[in-house]
Structure 1
Amino acid sequence: MSLPHQILEYPRVINIGSIDNEGKGMLKRADDKIYLESHAHRKRINTIFGGGAIVIGVWLGASAELSSQYIVPAIFTLGGVFWVIYGLFANKKYKIFELNRLEGTVAYPDHYFNPPLKGKFKDLKAVISVSGNIDGYADSEYLKFVNTFKPRKLDLLYTFYGSDPKKDWSFYVWYMDKNRPLPPGTAFDPYRQQDFERRKAERFPKPLYPSNIPTPEATPEQQKERERFWKEW
């Protein structure tokens, strides 16, 4: 079942120390317009994985005595070569996760060498996938995006390896509700006033998505001003 476009619980908090514009950190931008992550680190993982597969393939091939035994080594080697090529040459600019708060759009990585998938956030389908351990009990939960922007007969869901899928999804929904204040976290503090002034100029329109928790303004004064607008409706 798809997750509702709803703030389910108190969201993941984005602090200013999480933003890394120049280094190897994932989060590149977080303000009142754009939230941007780079997922290019997965390319490095593919390169390492491919290199390991090549080593295994060569080792198995060297150990094989019959021609029929070369099938498995060949699969490992050729698969490893593909993953190394992909890891080295796939465009890292394609491996992004971007939320555009004002335009209401989302972009996230497509498979292999394809450019990012992009569409309206309100149309995005997300699910929580639960993996099991060796005893058959539920183990880890992952947030996954179902491809709704470029439908294909056979497709894989894009997985987000976060610590808490519901908190992550609640953050995405809150951030993408441009009629609400910015989510909690010091990363957004420099932009709260201008975001407030934008919504005030628009006469504080009603939220786009429901919420299970309060989402007040940053200050009591701002909260009173917003409530006064709503009472005048």
Structure 2
Amino acid sequence: MRIEKKLESNLGGAIVIGVWLGASAELSSQYIVPAIFTLGGVFWVIYGLFANKKYKIFELNRLEGTVAYPDHYFNPPLKGKFKDLKAVISVSGNIDGYADSEYLKFVNTFKPRKLDLLYTFYGSDPKKDWSFYVWYMDKNRPLPPGTAFDEYRQQDFERRKALGFPRPLYPSDIPTPEATPEQQKERERFWKEW
């Protein structure tokens, strides 16, 4: 079982800004800035049209314990073991110096380079997103809540039961009960005997 999320990019934002600046520029040396924005926009449009879409997918493979996320530009995705993935929460500030937004960022540990940028994953809440990823990737825990996993819950429960309900891979203070009270009692009974 794996989760894939297609990551979209803003293809024409820079070209719109470039055209807007070009339309508002007077006939003088102010053509340089609109030209730079326009060329940048053209690059992003070409990149959006010709970049391999399968390279721009965030993938979590629970059973194999692997993760893949996009690398820069036309490079294939970075792949590796989830346990080796380093994630940080970055806080950006606003003009007054106060914290403004938080972002979940992945440190490139799978293909280190001398100069590298952190990959920013834009989600709703970085702490909740990371907690969800860790819970999902711990194949010794039940699947996280959500209707997307409902059809797989029984199969996942039976798989973990056949393995003897192994202890969780990643420590957590978040309770991760089974989907039904009966399944929870069965797991607790097995752990008491263990």
Q: TM-score range by the shorter chain?
A: 0.7 to 0.9
Q: Is the 8 A contact 1:99 1:176 kept in 2?
A: yes
The CA RMSD measured in Å over matched residues stands at 3.0
Distance, in Å, in 2 between the alignment partners of 1:165 and 1:81 is 31
Cα distance change, pair 62–45 in 1 and its aligned pair in 2 (3 A): farther
Match of 1:46 in 2: 8
Closer, same or farther in 2 for the Cα pair 1:47/1:173, shift >3 Å? Answer: closer
Counterparts in 2 of 1:94 and 1:178: CA distance versus 1, 3 Å: same
Give the structure-1-normalised TM-score: 0.72
* SS in structure 2 at match of 1:167: helix
**1:171·1:183 contact (CA, 8 Å) conserved in 2?**
yes
Using the size of structure 2 for normalisation, the TM-score is: 0.85
Checking the alignment, whether the CA contact within 8 Å between 2:5 and 2:59 is kept in structure 1 is: no
Structure 1 residues without counterparts, runs of 5 or longer: 1-41
Give yes or no for contact 2:65–2:81 (8 Å, CA) kept in 1: yes
**Conservation of the 8 A alpha-carbon contact between 2:6 and 2:58:** no
**Contact conserved, 1:47 with 1:85, CA < 8 A, in 2?**
no
Would the aligned equivalents of 1:179 and 1:207 in 2 still touch at CA under 8 Å? Answer: yes
C-alpha contact 2:108 2:116 (8 A) present in aligned 1: yes
Q: Cα distance, 1:77 vs. partner?
A: 3.3
Give the number of aligned pairs. Answer: 191
Deviations 1:140-191 (A, max 9, x none): 1111111111111221211122121111100000000000000011211111
How far apart are the structure 2 equivalents of 1:144 and 1:219? 34
Displacement of 1:65? 8.9
Identity %: 94
Counterpart contact for 1:46–1:86, Cα < 8 Å: no
Deviations 1:10-61 (A, max 9, x none): xxxxxxxxxxxxxxxxxxxxxxxxxxxxxxxx99999865x45446656767
Change (3 A) 1:230 1:88: same
Unaligned 5+ runs, structure 2: none
The answer as to whether partners of 1:144 and 1:160 remain within 8 angstroms in 2 is yes
Q: Judge conservation of contact 1:126–1:145 (CA < 8 Å) in 2.
A: yes
Deviation at 1:66, TM superposition (A): 9.2
Change (3 A) 1:225 1:85: same
